[in-house]
Amino acid sequence: MSHDNLFITLQQKFTLAQQVKVALIGNPNCGKSTLFNALTGLHQKTGNYPGVTVDKKIGICKALHPKTKQIHSFRLIDLPGTYSLFPKSLDEQVSFDVLMDETNTDYPDIILIVVDASNLKRHLVLATQLIDLGRPCILVLNMIDAATENGIEIDVTKLAELVQVPVVSCNARYSEGIEEVKKSLFTFAQDIKPQQSLINIQAIVNKNYADSVHRSVNQTSIYASLLNQRNHLEKDEKLKEFNEKFFTGFESRDMLFRFEKIKKITLDCVNYTVARKDLKTTDSLDNVITHPFWGFIIFIGVLFLIFQSIFYLAEFPMQWIEMGFSFITQKTRQYLPDNFFTSLLTNGILAGLSGIVVFIPQIALLFGFISLLEDSGYMARVSFIMDKLMRKVGLNGRSVIPLISGMACAVPAIMSTRTISNKKERLVTILITPLMSCSARLPVFTLLIGIMIPSNYRFGFFDVKGLLLTALYLMGIVVAIGVAAILKYVLKTKERSFFMMELPVYRIPQVKTVLLTMLDKVKVFLFDAGKVIMIISIILWFLTSYGPGSEFKRIDLEYTDAIRKTTSDSTKQKLTIAMETQKLQSSYAGHLGKIIEPAIKPLGFDWKIGISLITSIAAREVFVGTMATLYQSGDKEDNLSIRQKMMQEKNPTTGKLVYNFAVCLSLLMFYAFAMQCMSTLAVVKRETNSYKWPIIQFIYMSVLAYGASLLVYQIFK
């Protein structure tokens, strides 16, 4: 579509009050997604772009036309953050394709260019490229408050004149200026003037060649046609051979001319009244936080404080939840008849629910802390300080963000590897990310650590449970780096690697953003993982409540008669516990556990743990729900928490505690390394477009888990 026709079509859409498509695009950390949320509110949905697992956020923004007073509906799409229109990663390629392909369903009528007003010079590189596409654009100066606070005065009118597009300022974090952004969307319904290219295209590439490309490609500007042609060169060898000489040095020349143009623009319309306070603060902090030695120490200290806090702050809420479920279970048995439905409710549903809800405080705290690190700007520093170490194992600092994100959940972490341009580095990062201890492991870790370590056990001022949890997370990092070092020599590539990341200024995290993140992640845990746990809990209840043949009837007759004859309450209780234990061993679940017990016995595991290992293949956190169901089924009269029941469990043959230090440590090792997550395997398959890599991943992690568990148990037993 030609430049003039594009603007005429846009005017017609406004006249007929048709839905206008608006793309939000900008550099990472420019506040683009915050602006998107402010404009759309709750009227948004997420998904993936066709054919790729890149996040796709679309929302509806409704605004009142300032003149006609008609309500117009805008379809907003939040494009992945990008540094330029020379795509280096899957994220950037998706943004490029949406902007350049007229047949794309998300091809925008208007481009909303979001820049950080306090870093205008750097962010104008992408902005000037987008303006030179010859498309309807609006330049949004976000974070204008940060610019003002640091003595940066921007002449908006002069800037609009120089870049030839409407310019509007706002502060999306606090929803200031949002109405002005909405009003600016109607600018194109009025007097639209043709745009001139901001840079001299003839200085970048041969004029005759540029005109020839423009005639054949027919994009909205010569620059847009050249970008489109250059992008096709990477996919078509015949095109590459013919056109390569014209595009040699094209990107570097383009950037050079843009920097010169941007320098003139900022000299004319930006005035620095005082030295930037935020940069002074940021530089001072970075002297310590990104220090080659102290940076690592601070990072380990941050992790240590997080896990100490998780145990300390979550302890009382978890106790209250445990007591609440014990009370509900007790009252349910007291007031309902002892029948099929009561057993299903107490031993299946309530037992499964308790295994989910009790860990909400810890899950919420973990995601809250990660949100604080991201919102403050610290997470980008972690990538920077880890880059040197990562290069030694064949990766770079960009792999750190997915790995750290893997501490929350491996699924979005693996999807975030699309920002890694090097294919080998992306694949290695995908393969090692599940080794990072995620939030799904947290319920398993805290349950087992709670059994191993007494609640009042301290090392000086520190809680030993928090120390052990920190050690497990650090172990995941160390092993992941070790596996990456091995894969560096196994997977071969000639592709060169580079690392470029903008370090944002430090900001005070927004409490609202952190709380919304915590709420969102808890909902995901409850309704996504919770559904799996509930289904498995109900299936397990059936498998533990019934068995093959007439064994259950025989046990009932044998013990019922003995219980009726005795007059001692303590003897009755012992006989009841013995009856339920024998029933559990004779159930379908018991038979299944006995089948796999020989394979896991060298690890210190019994048949009950074996059942949990099988069920938790669906999701690691199912381990807790499984144990809750098993022990609820085996002890109907007791109202202790699952942790207390496991602590008291004894081997019927030896009389020793089942969950001793060696067994708990062995289990911790197994769950620290095992690939017990079907969702992760599914996303690895989608990201690699192959069954080969998830199968390899499952095998190597299973071998690693079994070997680590075997070694630890044999040493400590």
Candidates 187, 142, 163; CA nearest to 39 is: 142
d(CA 594, CA 360): 33
Q: What is the pLDDT of residues 208-221, one digit of tens each?
A: 777 787 788 778 78
Range of the domain at 460: 294-490
Q: What is the pLDDT of residues 470-486, one digit of tens each?
A: 888 889 889 999 999 99
pLDDT surpasses 60 at 1: no
Cα-based angle 348, 353, 356 (whole degrees, multiple of 5):
135
Lowest-confidence range among 254-258, 392-396, 567-571?
A: 567-571
Question: Would you say residue 238 lies in a domain?
Answer: yes
pLDDT computed for residue 53 by the predictor: 44
Identify whether residues 22 and 92 lie together within a single domain.
yes
Identify whether residues 215 and 299 lie together within a single domain.
no
Question: What does the pLDDT average to over 562-584?
Answer: 73
Helix (H, G, I), strand (E, B) or coil at 236: coil
Identify whether residues 334 and 441 lie together within a single domain.
yes
pLDDT computed for residue 640 by the predictor: 59
pLDDT surpasses 50 at 129: yes
Residue with tokens 């290992």: 613
d(CA 527, CA 517): 15
Tell me the angle at which helices 588-600 and 607-615 cross, rounded to the nearest 10 degrees: 100
Write the secondary structure of 432-476 as one string of H (helix), E (strand) and C (coil): HHHHCCCCCHHHHHHHHHHHHCCCCCEECCEEHHHHHHHHHHHHH
Contacts by residues 581-587 (CB-CB < 8 Å, ≥ 24 positions apart): 581/634, 581/652, 582/555, 583/547, 583/552, 583/555, 583/634, 584/544, 584/630, 584/633, 584/634, 586/547, 586/551, 586/552, 586/555, 587/543, 587/544, 587/545, 587/546, 587/547, 587/552, 587/633
Identify whether residues 534 and 483 lie together within a single domain.
no
Identify whether residues 301 and 157 lie together within a single domain.
no
d(CA 545, CA 541): 6
d(CA 247, CA 243): 7
pLDDT surpasses 70 at 550: yes
Question: Would you say residue 515 lies in a domain?
Answer: no
Question: Would you say residue 518 lies in a domain?
Answer: no
**467-503 as b/e, with b when 16 or more CB fall inside 10 Å?**
bbbbebbebbbebbbebbeebbeeeeeeeebebebee
Helix (H, G, I), strand (E, B) or coil at 646: helix
Candidates 712, 698, 454; CA nearest to 605 is: 712
Q: Which amino acid is at 90?
A: L
pLDDT computed for residue 349 by the predictor: 75
Q: What is the pLDDT of residues 590-603, one digit of tens each?
A: 788 888 888 999 99
- Give percent of the chain above pLDDT 70: 81
Identify whether residues 700 and 555 lie together within a single domain.
yes
d(CA 70, CA 597): 71
> Which residues contact residue 89 at a Cβ distance below 8 angstroms, ignoring those fewer than 6 apart?
418, 419, 420, 421
pLDDT surpasses 50 at 492: yes
Question: Would you say residue 283 lies in a domain?
Answer: no
Identify whether residues 680 and 537 lie together within a single domain.
yes
- The residue among 215, 239, 272 that closes a domain is 272
Identify whether residues 461 and 586 lie together within a single domain.
no
Write the secondary structure of 358-423 as one string of H (helix), E (strand) and C (coil): CCHHHHHHHHHHHHHHHHHCHHHHHHHHHHHHHHHCCCCHHHHHHHHHCCCCHHHHHHHHHHCCCH
Proportion of the chain in helix, strand, coil states, percent, rounded to 5:
65, 10, 25
- Tokens read off for 665: 């440590």
Per the CB < 8 A criterion, the answer to whether 658 and 650 are in contact is yes
Classify residue 44 by its DSSP letter: E
Identify whether residues 118 and 70 lie together within a single domain.
yes
- The residue among 490, 514, 537 that closes a domain is 490
Residue with tokens 């080794």: 435
- We report the CATH number of the domain holding residue 61 as 3.40.50.300
How many domains does the chain contain in total?
A: 3
d(CA 373, CA 367): 10
Beta bridge partners of 21: 75
- The residue among 443, 466, 490 that closes a domain is 490
Q: How far apart are the first and last CA of the chain?
A: 74
Residues comprising the chain, all counted: 717
d(CA 462, CA 457): 9
Question: What does the pLDDT average to over 21-49?
Answer: 76
Classify residue 201 by its DSSP letter: G
Per the CB < 8 A criterion, the answer to whether 55 and 94 are in contact is no
d(CA 254, CA 258): 6
Question: Would you say residue 507 lies in a domain?
Answer: no
Classify residue 603 by its DSSP letter: G
pLDDT surpasses 60 at 564: yes
Question: Would you say residue 509 lies in a domain?
Answer: no
Lowest-confidence range among 44-53, 154-163, 253-262, 513-522?
A: 44-53
Helix (H, G, I), strand (E, B) or coil at 48: strand
User: Higher pLDDT residue, 193 or 663?
Assistant: 663
d(CA 632, CA 354): 11
Write down the mean pLDDT value for the chain.
Answer: 78
Per the CB < 8 A criterion, the answer to whether 445 and 671 are in contact is yes
Q: What is the pLDDT of residues 439-456, one digit of tens each?
A: 778 788 888 888 887 766
Helix (H, G, I), strand (E, B) or coil at 140: strand
Q: What is the pLDDT of residues 51-83, one digit of tens each?
A: 444 567 888 888 777 676 777 788 899 888 888
pLDDT computed for residue 17 by the predictor: 60
Identify whether residues 332 and 452 lie together within a single domain.
yes
Identify whether residues 371 and 459 lie together within a single domain.
yes
Per the CB < 8 A criterion, the answer to whether 469 and 445 are in contact is yes
Q: What is the pLDDT of residues 130-168, one digit of tens each?
A: 999 888 889 999 988 878 877 788 898 999 889 888 899
- Does the predicted model carry a pTM greater than 0.85? no
Question: Would you say residue 510 lies in a domain?
Answer: no
Residue with tokens 């509900």: 328
Residue 77 phi, psi dihedral angles, 5° rounding: -125, 125
> Which residues contact residue 383 at a Cβ distance below 8 angstroms, ignoring those fewer than 6 apart?
397, 398, 400, 401, 501
Residue with tokens 């048995």: 333
Beta bridge partners of 22: 76, 110
Question: What does the pLDDT average to over 578-592?
Answer: 76
- Tokens read off for 227: 């970008």
- Tokens read off for 393: 């194992």
Per the CB < 8 A criterion, the answer to whether 259 and 125 are in contact is yes
Question: Which pairing describes strands 20-26 and 110-116: parallel, antiparallel, or unpaired?
Answer: parallel
- Tokens read off for 444: 């398993």
Question: Would you say residue 162 lies in a domain?
Answer: yes
Identify whether residues 41 and 184 lie together within a single domain.
yes
> Which residues contact residue 93 at a Cβ distance below 8 angstroms, ignoring those fewer than 6 apart?
87
